[in-house]
Structure 1
Amino acid sequence: MAGQATEKRVSVYLYIPNIIGYIRVLMNFVAFALCFSHKKLFAILYFFSFICDGLDGWFARKFNQVSTFGAVLDMVTDRVSTTCLLVILSQIYSPGLSFLSLLALDIASHWFQMYSTFLSGKASHKDVKDSTNWLFKAYYGNRLFMAYCCVGSEVLYIILFLLAEKQPESVVDVFVNTMKEKPLLILPLLFSSLGWAIKQAINVIQMKTAADACVYYDMNRTK
């Protein structure tokens, strides 16, 4: 029995989506190691790692290799990579506190959501069918909409990283100058900014909804 358990554990670690997760970790490690010396290579590696975030989910469903370990690996990789990028942006743009605030919101909302999911006994933090907020339900209920918001947010951060020249630089000034001097970037900036804005709204809603779930759990427990 012990041998079978070990075999099963090893097989989970070798699931295709989990192997993709390991590759994502490696790509992010290399990307951030080279971020200041090879900015374009960083952007390519970081973005490709982000695209793999969608691929691992597809492979997990395709080959019936969904696992709790894979879900945790996926979320941790997402949060850590976004965290590192936001910290870098907070150092090359002013006010840096704006990016650190976005980082705090991202971590807090996902932590609250994961913990409230655990308390409610749900299998996935994406199970929000009982939510009364239409935007929150649309985000987790429609993969394309969710992908647009996530991709838009990450693309905006990558563009800002590539555009930064002087340090520290004002985000507003960079936006204004880009609109004037680089018209080809206007559409990508607007497209990604809209996705980013929706994602931040979702983070706020998610944190409030999850916090309420924690409070309701305490109220029911003390009855």
Structure 2
Amino acid sequence: MVKNSTPRPRKLLVYLYVPNIVGYVRVLMNCFAFAICYSNKKLFSILYFLSFVCDAIDGWCARKFNQVSTFGAVLDMVTDRISTACLLVILSQVYSPGLIFLSLLALDISSHWLQMYSTFLLGKGSHKDVKDSTNWLFRAYYGNRKFMGYCCVACEVLYIILFLVADNETENLADVLLSLAKQSSPLTFITALSLFGWAIKQIVNVIQMKTAADVCVLYDINKKQASS
């Protein structure tokens, strides 16, 4: 039997892929940002947003240097989900009713977890491969990188704005949004633009959760029929 002469890449080599190193920097940046979030809101917002921007940078590096890896994809998603979750938890303590932000957190994590799991069941290489979906918005979201980028940026920018404008720990969310709407300033325009992209992303999250749940259910049905 002829042995495969192609050398297997060492584990350390994959860990040290350029996009993965960018991912580690994102983790460290987020850790420091959340450590100072209450003492320095502006610096927190800058670091948090830079970490978010680095998500696009590591994706570019992965394609540029041909260093796409499953570990890198998982690292990206975990970093994204945890950083957003932490900010949503903070907002739930700053605003009332806090249940709104905790519900958004639950929707974000559950929809992406189900999507990742359904991707593995279908044998797909990426959770963004939704070409076979019957929902046009779902296909448009993952099929158009610019559209998806706008929705993701809008979502994070909206959360950052809400954190920056909060003066105390008992803010009423409706009052703050109404106050922002009454102002004639660039911040009002940015908030409105972000709110629209945020709304689309939440709708996509609901669609994603339902679609992924259907895949899991169909997998169970087919498995039971095959064994009977």
Query: Does the TM-score normalized on the shorter chain lie above 0.5?
Result: yes
In 1, the alpha carbon distance for the partners of 2:161 and 2:147 equals 21
Give 3-state SS (helix, strand or coil) of 1:222's partner.
Answer: helix
State TM-score, norm by structure 2: 0.94
What's 1:153 paired with? Answer: 155
For residue 193 of structure 1, what is the amino acid of its counterpart? L
The number of residues matched between the two structures is: 220
Whether 1:209 and 2:211 are equivalent positions in the alignment is: yes
Q: Structure 1: which amino acid aligns with 2:54?
A: C
Alpha-carbon displacement from aligned partner over 1:83-110 (angstroms, at most 9, x marks no partner):
0000000000000000000000001000
Distance 1:189 1:17 in 2: 31
Q: Determine which structure has the larger helix proportion and give its number.
A: 1
Give the corresponding residue for 1:82. Answer: 84
User: 1:184: how far off?
Assistant: 2.4
Shift of residue 198 of structure 1? 0.3
Q: Deviations 1:154-188 (Å, cap 9, x if unpaired)?
A: 00000000000022111110111123346221110
How far apart are the structure 2 equivalents of 1:138 and 1:181?
33
Q: Aligned residue for 2:19?
A: 17
Residue number in structure 2 paired with 1:199: 201
* Structure 1 vs Structure 2 CA RMSD: 1.2
Contact 1:179–1:185 under 8 Å retained in 2: no
Counterparts of 2:218 and 2:178, CA distance in 1: 46
2:187 to 185, 188, 193: 185
Name the SS of the counterpart of 1:125 in structure 2: coil
Alpha-carbon contact 1:128-1:140 (below 8 Å) kept? yes
Paired residue for 1:68, among 67, 70, 87? Answer: 70
1:28-57 CA distance string (max 9 Å, x none): 000000000000000000000000001100
* Alignment of structure 1 residues 44-193 onto 2, 5 Å: 44-181=46-183, 183-193=185-195
Give the equivalent residue in structure 1 for 2:33: 31
Taking structure 1 as the reference length, what is the TM-score of the superposition? 0.96
Q: Distance in 2 between matches of 1:97 and 1:34?
A: 24
The amino acid of 1:119's aligned partner reads L
Residues 127-174 of structure 1, C-alpha deviation per residue, up to 9 Å, x if partnerless? 101100000001111100000000000000000000000221111101
Rounded to whole Å, the distance in 2 between the matches of 1:166 and 1:181 is 20
Partner Cα distance (2:41, 2:75) in 1: 26
Which has more radius of gyration?
A: 2
